Amino acid sequence: MLPLRHLRIGFWGLLVFLTFGVVLEALHGFKIGLYLDVENEPRRLAWRLAHAHGTLLSLLHVVFGLLLGSRYAPPAAAAARASRLLVAATLLLPGGFLLGGLFLHGGDPGLGILLVPLGALTLFAAVFVIARGLPAGAPAKVTLRELAFASPEYEDSWQLRLRVLREPLGLRPGPHERDEESGLVHLGAFEGERLVATLMLHDVGGGRVRMRQVAVAFERQRSGVGTKLVRFSEEVARRRGFREMVLHARETAVPFYERLGYQTYGEPFVEVTIPHIAMRMTL
């Protein structure tokens, strides 16, 4: 999951590079020749720069992680590209300074320093991809469409469902869950290119279709997106000849479905560790 991945890299990176800063202070404090002697000046400079760049890049990961979780996130393809570039820059820039300071050649830093310009270019590219991917104005209007299984949009749907439905319960999907989804209909609601809500339709036989894993991005909940997507799914189901929509509603979501005309039936039961109840509506 991309936003969490960058938040993790960011905070662990901060821990590493702030600790490195303390180590440098200690080398200074204890007047270690390896660090303070005049001939080791390039090492002092390079390692300070490794500390500074590592810390700043870690902060950039935190900011990028927060951006990816917000409504201003760049489209999935740009986000994935920027993510790879940012990770590469985080290895190359501080890594280059670190290596350059580790092995000195006379009064010059070691060959490792050659990684630095490469890292700088990678960082520029990452920042450019992020800047270009930001939305031009207010969030675009919601569009609804079917998603092809295993497409980048499907990957976004998988991540959104993980984030909204599973992670808050401390659950991970089972190993075969993805394969099982290949035969289902996947629908998405988009603001511009950003997926903000998703659900799946599962043919359960007898003219009935089951709506599964309805998830709206946290920051877009209670803004009407869920209603639009469910209505769209009913239209899709009707077009495919289904006569009844059924679903397992979380207890907390029952008022949402009732408002849309669904009715509960049968006894409540526990699914994914929380109370659910079956609901249905004639299409």
Residues that bind ligand COA (CB under 6 A): 164-165, 214-216, 221-227, 249-250, 252-253, 255-256, 259
CB atoms within 10 A of CB 172: 10
Least distance CB 249 / ligand COA (angstroms) = 5
**Of residues 49, 47, 1, 3, the one with CA closest to residue 26:** 47
Nearer to ligand COA, 115 or 237 (CB): 237
**Of residues 165, 162, 154, 220, the one with CA closest to residue 188:** 154
Least distance CB 175 / ligand COA (angstroms) = 23
Report the alpha-carbon distance of residue 75 to residue 54 in Å, rounded: 27
Torsion of CA 47, 53, 56, 60, to 10 degrees: -140
Closest-by-Cβ residue to ligand COA is 226
Sheet containing 263-271: order of strands: 142-147, 185-191, 194-205, 208-216, 244-250, 274-282, 263-271
Nearer to ligand COA, 41 or 167 (CB): 167
Nearer to ligand COA, 77 or 169 (CB): 169
Least distance CB 203 / ligand COA (angstroms) = 19
Nearer to ligand COA, 182 or 252 (CB): 252
Nearer to ligand COA, 207 or 261 (CB): 261
Q: Which residues lie across from 212 on neighbouring strands?
A: 200
CB atoms within 10 A of CB 2: 19
* DSSP label of 164: I
Nearer to ligand COA, 119 or 226 (CB): 226
Least distance CB 211 / ligand COA (angstroms) = 8
Least distance CB 227 / ligand COA (angstroms) = 3
Report the alpha-carbon distance of residue 75 to residue 81 in Å, rounded: 10
